[in-house]
Amino acid sequence: MDLIRIGDKLISRRKINATLERIFTLRCQGFSQQEAARQVGVDRSFVSRLETLGEVRRGRRIAVVGFPIANKAEVEAMLRQEGVEYILLLTDAERWDFVRQKNGLDLFNSLMEIITRLRDYDVVIIIGSDYRIKVSEALLGREVVGYGIGTSPIQGDRTVDVEELRRLVHQLGRD
């Protein structure tokens, strides 16, 4: 629904989204926060807080984790070329082997080790299902950028658009 009621107020999601898009468009065109705020009729501090709320750090350290990836070798080669420091990509068969070859305690310890390593990175790109992306955000408690390849549960390998992923890595400051 486009309209939501909060107490006595009736709020238009469409109006909010259109205003946000206008602010972002103006800022991308080089307008200052003050100029963008003036054009859409909000305070400059709102624009600043909005940017802070949505900011993804442009740190030097990027990690990418993804499964199930059909074109794993191609994606991995591109990520290495772009300087991504930590890459963990699995095909569908590899992800099931990872789980089946370990007892419960070993699997838990392996997952905890991966999570601990990922916490050292400024940005973590998660390639996976909508559910895996949400779980990753909750576990890592930091900036996670999702690259969705389907709705959970995903069965079988999915092909990743390598150039689209490359653009995402560039947007995160890796150019």
Name the residue ranges covered by the structural domains of the chain.
Answer: 3-53, 62-174
The pLDDT score that the predictor gives to residue 122 is: 86
Question: What pLDDT does residue 60 have?
Answer: 64
Cα(128)–Cα(158) distance, integer angstroms: 9
Q: What confidence tens digit (pLDDT) does each residue in 164-174 have? A: 999 999 888 64
Q: Is the pLDDT of residue 59 over 80?
A: no
Indicate the pTM of the whole model.
Answer: 0.66
Pick the CATH number of 62-174 from 3.30.530, 3.40.50, 3.40.390, 3.30.420: 3.40.50
52: confidence class by pLDDT, cuts 50, 70, 90: confident
